[in-house]
Structure 1
Amino acid sequence: MNPILNQIGTTFIPVSDIGKARNWYCDILGLSADGEILFGHLYILPMDGTDIVLDTKIFSEDNIFKTPPFHLNTNNIEQAFEYMRGKNVEITTKIKNNHWFNFKDPDGNHLMICQC
């Protein structure tokens, strides 16, 4: 029996300011930002599925995601695009193939939203 599970437990995003990042991500995801910052550098975003961990200890200019490491799901790509524009998020692509678009977080990490 293989002791390694066929699962992704979490994904990490390097951020420069844990409080600012927590508030920004919670705002765009519609989550409460009242969770605890752990060890002064970690914040776990409670997702439906694989969680996201914001972490200042892994932040450096070299660690910023230049390519989205994952995508956030949406049921309506046009609504998601307009929602992010309304939040003044830096959108880096138009909606592509009527299916996805990319954006940046405040630290410059490239992320994606994709219609499922």
Structure 2
Amino acid sequence: MHPILNEIGTVFIPVRDIARARDWYCDLLGVTNEGEILHGHLYVLPMKGTSIVLDSKIFAEDHIFKVPAFHLNTKDIEAAYTFLQDKKVELVTGIEHGHWFNFKDPDGNLLMICMC
């Protein structure tokens, strides 16, 4: 058996304010923020599949995602785009090729939503 598995366990996102980031991401994903902030700087988002961990200890301007490190899935790209417009989220692109778009979180991390 190979000692390194071919799967991703967690993606860490650098954030300035852990409580504010927790609330923003939970609202974005439509999940409750029932979990606790760990060690004063970590919050594990309740995800299906690969985990996302928000971490305020690793935040620095040069650590934010300047390109998307992953994408969030949607079954309706138009509805996802409109949802973020209505929330006044900073949209970086329009819907590209009818398939994906980029946006920023409040800390400036570049994220992507893509049709699955």
Q: What range is the shorter-chain TM-score in?
A: over 0.9
* CA displacement at 1:91 relative to structure 2: 0.4
The CA distance in 2 between the partners of 1:14 and 1:32, in whole Å, is: 20
Q: Which residue of 2 aligns with 1:90?
A: 90
Following TM superposition, the consecutive aligned residue runs of length 4 or more in structure 1 with deviations greater than 4 angstroms are none
Q: CA deviation at 1:72?
A: 0.2
TM-score (norm 1): 0.98
Name 1:57's counterpart in structure 2: 57
Q: Does 1:77 align with 2:77?
A: yes
Q: 1:109 is aligned with what amino acid? A: N
**Structure 1 segment 1-116 matched on structure 2, within 5 A:** 1-116=1-116
What is the CA–CA distance in structure 2 between the aligned matches of 1:49 and 1:6, rounded to whole Å?
A: 14
Counterpart-to-counterpart distance in 1, 2:76 and 2:113: 10
Tell me how far apart the structure 2 counterparts of residues 95 and 24 of structure 1 sit (CA, whole Å).
22
Residues 45-92 of structure 1: CA distance to partner in whole angstroms, max 9, x if unpaired? 011110100001110000011100000000010000000111111000
Question: Residues 28-49 of structure 1: CA distance to partner in whole angstroms, max 9, x if unpaired?
Answer: 1001012100000000001111
Distance in 1 (CA, whole Å) between partners of 2:33 and 2:85 is 21
* Number of residue pairs matched by the alignment: 116
Amino acid at match of 1:39: H
Could you tell me which runs of 5 or more consecutive residues in structure 1 were left unpaired when the two chains were aligned: none
CA RMSD of aligned residues (A): 0.6
- CA shift for structure 1 position 10: 0.5
> What TM-score do you get using the length of structure 2 for normalisation?
0.98
Q: Distance in 2 between matches of 1:95 and 1:22?
A: 26
Deviations 1:81-106 (A, max 9, x none): 00011111100000000000000000
Query: Structure 1 vs Structure 2: percent identity of aligned residues?
Result: 66
